[in-house]
């Protein structure tokens, strides 16, 4: 039998467009990984009548109902009251919950105002899902053969309650386990990935493969259902191998979080150091590399050389190079990479120069960027023609730099000799 | 009479958690500014039965129904068919729309596959909302006294269709205009803003004031309904003045997009130049300053000095300073700011040094950061004790640097003499 789920997000702030409904996304994603079918997401305001109506509809069609938001201490937090009424349950003050809330305030050395007691009201017979990330506990009600969950709305609390309370309960009732792996791809688009894997995606039942696009990158999620982890790994392995074979060096990592995450990991392993000389990306590449904790192990520093004068005076890029080949040229990018490695005494130097827009000498120059990585007296370079607004172009250029760096670190792509 | 609206987002990819429903947020926000009450958002998959059911419910309770997604050329794009059936309308191929789609492919020099013709099917009697940002047109159906809109799902198309097609139609039917202004605040939290403005927010009917929190910043939106723009401005002005009076120099800009946007604006006006020497923020401040188009007018370059050696050798921060006061100290931040201005020959230099975490010499050092701005032989500095993960701490530190810079540029806060 197919388990049918739906999400009801309670919060006028979502209907006013003040916040994105990110809770619904992370819950949806988790349900999808568990193989539970989510058929509806509904957002409704902090309004008793409308929430009652939405809840009644949900109870008529879904096995699992997950409500988020409206569990807090203020008068417009009505989720528990509305749900209890819909199910004909009384709300009862739970002593343990009340103690936990009191302890939370004591620890923070703040006086607890009386309205916080409302958070300790629990529908009769419901299970309390302990909230270690805030004050309002989550709730699970089993009603006939349906399960109604309530999770706090603040994303940090919601995500932790989902991972640590809801998912374990939902897993328990499903047979076996579901395991996913993420194959991260850069250099070809989602549609190209889809094309290359079309027969796999069409035929695969278990494990399955699904491509995604995100921030100019592609991602393939492969998922297996099995009795245990070992069996799941056995199912995933041949599919993973086949996908990597087809996508080639466009695959830059498995289960890593991002290009910078993978680059940092490889830099730490190889004990090599890196520095950058950035023009149009204005510090974005350095920012991404240093966003990884422990970056000081491989990253001593970096320069943003936005003008020709700085490229020339501080970075020591030769005047002739800029005059002969232009400030946006392979040669300038190469010298920037080399000079970064000299200035900061690093094994690897990365240079980026180009026009991120919206202004450029001509329309043809818009998005024209050179990225170059220097390593062991050799260079790996890429000429880019990027389309998009300033921020998108800058992001893609820095992503290409990270991809070239990763390829070198993997020795997939040994740099060419100095020209 | 209150106009009641609801949004129906059609797309299995949202239910799988693959994408955030950002379309719903931008539409919600626009409706809120127009003074139209949005009571529900529903997400439903590309499924005829379930969409029919959701649409039937919407028709029974709302005056305006906005559907997004499912207008494309593939077999699972079922929005038009489902809506036409629900309203008993036939779908008819629209010749003008077909020509536009053909022209779109001709321009891109791609052959149009036959399935693209589906996008030219329009419910009988519906108004076509021309899509200049993609192939699938939008649709408006007037049914009894209700209006049903359909907009394409891709966020870029949806946002442009909303702004250029939907909002003008909705504005037409409302009396007068609604005008909002955004007062941008940094340095105090949303709850402090709420506290300082509590009587205003409680009593204001027209104009209204509402605070928001975003990325560690606060924002107050003031909104007036009036017969015309001039009258709206007259209503807004005294409220704006009062709010600025209460929030003081925490207000850094009106209707600007961000701290970097405001800083860039003031730098361009003043014809002053700026450079940075960043440690823990790793290039983020430079990245934010150069994210603004035209940054080359005020920003020649910048350095990331992640290690003591680089601070010392490249940036020329004195060894004694670091040894005497520590690498994370006011004195080091001051010298970094000064040396940045010397190295890059700029009027203003900004130095940032601190521990972004997760590792630091002691727990007490986590989030301990000094930000310093040098200008005209004087310094403006701030010692920060920030809480949060690495990325949040880095973002806040760079925001503080921008705020100090803005204050100097506004001459709100003249730097102190050299200590």
Least CB–CB distance from A307: residue in B14, B29, B300: B300
* pLDDT computed for residue B305 by the predictor: 95
Contacts of B268 in chain A (CB under 8 A): none
Q: What is the pTM of this model?
A: 0.79
Q: Which residue has the higher pLDDT, B132 or B201?
A: B132
Q: What is the pLDDT of residues B76-112, one digit of tens each?
A: 789 999 999 999 999 999 999 999 989 888 876 777 8
What percentage of residues in chain A have a pLDDT greater than 90? 68
Choose, out of B3, B7, B28, B283, the residue to mutate when testing the contact with A (most A CBs < 10 Å).
B283
CA–CA dist A193, A182 (Å, integer) = 14
Residues of chain B with C-beta less than 8 angstroms from the C-beta of A303: 301-304
Q: Quote the pLDDT of residue A97.
A: 93
Q: What is the pLDDT of residue B1?
A: 56
Positive or negative, the CA dihedral A339, A340, A345, A347 is: negative
Residues 6+ apart with CB under 8 A from A223: A33, A178, A179, A180, A181, A207, A208, A209, A210
Q: B144: burial class by Cβ within 10 Å (0-12, 13-18, 19+)?
A: exposed
How far apart are alpha carbons A310 and A304 in whole angstroms? Answer: 9
B125/chain A closest Cα distance in angstroms: 30
Q: Given an 8 Å threshold on Cβ–Cβ distance, is B304 in contact with A285?
A: no
Residue B358 touches chain A, beta carbons under 8 Å: yes
State which residue of chain B sits closest to A210, comparing Cα positions. B18
Query: Which residue of B lies nearest to A214 if distances are taken between CA atoms?
Result: B19
Higher pLDDT, A64 or B107: A64
Banded pLDDT at A412 (limits 50, 70, 90): low
Q: Residue A282 is nearest to which of B290, B358, B394, comparing CB atoms? A: B290
pLDDT in tens, A116-155: 888 999 999 999 999 988 889 999 999 889 999 999 998 9
What is the nearest CA distance from B89 to chain A, expressed in angstroms? 26
Q: Least CA distance to A5: which residue of chain B?
A: B15
| pLDDT attached to residue A417 | 47
Q: Which residues of A touch B310 (CB under 8 A)?
A: 300-301, 344
**B residues 145-204 closer than 8 Å to A (CB):** none
For residue B419, pLDDT beyond 60: no
User: Tokens representing A239?
Assistant: 């599919």
A·B CB contacts under 8 A: 200
Position B332 scores a pLDDT of 97
| Contact criterion met (CB < 8 Å) for A15 and B39 | yes
Residue with tokens 């680059």: A263
Segment A94-103, tens digit of pLDDT: 999 999 989 8
Chain mean pLDDT for chain B: 91
pLDDT of residue A419: 40
Structural element, H or E, at residue B279: none
The yes-or-no verdict on residue B225 having pLDDT over 90 is: no
Give the tens place of pLDDT for each residue, B354-368. 999 888 888 889 999
> Chain A, 280-339: which have a CB under 8 Å from a chain B CB?
281-287, 289-291, 293-296, 299-307, 309-310, 314
User: What distance in Å separates the CA atoms of residue B340 and residue B346, rounded to the nearest whole number?
Assistant: 8
| Band of residue B416 on the pLDDT scale cut at 50, 70, 90 | low
Whether A290 contacts A299, CB under 8 Å: yes
Window from A397-401, B18-22, B335-339 with minimum mean pLDDT: B18-22
Q: pLDDT-based confidence at A225, cuts 50/70/90?
A: confident
Task: Tell me B118's DSSP state.
Answer: G
Q: What pLDDT score does A318 carry?
A: 95
pLDDT for the residue numbered A418: 45
């Amino acid at each position: 039998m197919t388990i049918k789920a739906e999400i009801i997000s309670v919060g006028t702030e979502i209907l006013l467009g003040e916040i994105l409904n990110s809770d619904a996304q992370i819950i949806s994603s988790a349900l999808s990984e568990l193989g539970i079918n989510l058929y509806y997401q509904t957002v409704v305001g902090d309004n008793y009548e409308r929430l009652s109506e939405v809840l009644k509809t949900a109870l008529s069609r879904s096995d699992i109902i997950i409500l988020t938001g409206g569990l807090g201490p203020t008068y417009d937090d009505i989720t528990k009251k509305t749900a209890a009424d819909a199910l004909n349950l009384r709300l009862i003050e739970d002593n343990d919950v009340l103690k936990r809330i009191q302890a939370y305030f004591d620890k923070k050395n703040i006086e607890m105002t009386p309205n916080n007691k409302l958070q300790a009201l629990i529908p009769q017979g419901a299970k309390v899902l302990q909230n270690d990330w805030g004050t309002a506990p989550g709730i699970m009600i089993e009603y006939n053969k349906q399960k109604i969950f309530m999770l706090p709305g603040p994303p940090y609390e919601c995500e932790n309650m989902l991972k640590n309370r809801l998912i374990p309960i939902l897993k328990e009732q499903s047979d076996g386990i579901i395991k996913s792996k993420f194959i991260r791809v850069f250099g070809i688009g989602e549609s190209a990935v889809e094309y290359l894997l079309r027969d796999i995606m069409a035929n695969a039942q278990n494990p399955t493969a699904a491509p995604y696009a995100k921030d100019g990158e592609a991602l393939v999620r492969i998922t297996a259902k099995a009795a245990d982890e070992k069996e799941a790994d056995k199912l995933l392995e041949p599919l993973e191998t086949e996908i990597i074979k087809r996508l080639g060096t466009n695959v830059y990592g498995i289960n890593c979080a991002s290009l910078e995450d993978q680059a940092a990991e490889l830099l730490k392993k190889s004990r090599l150091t890196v520095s950058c000389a950035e023009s149009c990306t204005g510090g974005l590449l350095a920012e991404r590399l240093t966003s990884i904790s422990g970056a000081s192990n491989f990253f001593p520093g970096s320069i943003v050389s936005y003008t020709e004068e700085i490229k020339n005076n501080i970075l020591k890029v030769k005047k002739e190079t800029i005059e002969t080949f232009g400030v946006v040229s392979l040669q300038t990018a190469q010298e920037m990479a080399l000079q970064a490695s000299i200035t900061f005494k690093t094994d690897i130097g990365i240079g980026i120069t180009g026009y991120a827009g919206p202004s450029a000498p001509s329309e043809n120059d818009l998005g024209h960027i050179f990225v170059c990585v220097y390593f062991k007296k050799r260079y790996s370079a890429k000429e880019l023609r990027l389309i998009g607004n300033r921020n998108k172009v800058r992001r893609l250029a820095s992503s290409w730099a990270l991809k070239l760096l990763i390829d070198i670190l993997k020795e997939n792509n040994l740099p060419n000799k100095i020209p």
